[in-house]
Amino acid sequence: MIDIFTTGGTIDKVYFDALSEFQIGPAAIPDMLRENNVHVPHRVTQLMRKDSLELDDADREAIRVAVAASDAARILVTHGTDTMVLTGRVLAGIPGKTIVMTGAMQPASVRASDAEFNVGFALAAVQTLPPGVYIAMNGMIFDPATTVKDRAGQRFVQQ
């Protein structure tokens, strides 16, 4: 069983009309997994619906508590990319769990989104990596302790 915790972020943003900005909508991952015929046993829990720039220390602690309390050894967390590394560092040290974080640079609701690829890649990673905390983005695995987001390059890089 893979526990999937959603927190919001770009992956869950939706655009309602030409006059509005993106807003965080319901978790995109249940529909994404169903539409892509994914059958790996999983359960999805929406922890919050926030842009990662709005997450604070209390939110990060709530994510840590949920991950630590899960009876699953394999955890996938969808998260906004701007502060994903920070939350990944907070999750470090939870014993006996493989924790993989992923997100998207473009909302899942947008045709050219990287969301579906990143989620599929993260699902494979969480099933194969040893215990620890990882970021799975755009075909690469990163250690949150030594990673930063390159906003201009729209990618993560090792320091």
From the list 59, 63, 64, 105, the residue with the least C-alpha distance to 81 is 105
Active site residue 6: no
pLDDT at position 92 is 96
Question: 13-45, pLDDT tens digit by residue?
Answer: 766 555 556 667 667 888 888 988 999 999 999
Write down the catalytic residue from 6, 7, 10, 81: 10
pLDDT at position 22 is 64
- Owning domain of residue 7: 2-158
pLDDT at position 19 is 54
- Residue segments in the chain with a per-residue pLDDT below the cut of 70: 14-23, 25-26
Q: Residue 144 in contact with residue 101, Cβ under 8 Å?
A: yes
Q: What is the CATH number of the domain that holds 143?
A: 3.40.50.1170
78 pairs with which residues across the strands? 6, 102
pLDDT at position 23 is 65
Q: What is the pTM of this model?
A: 0.90
Q: How many domains does the chain have?
A: 1
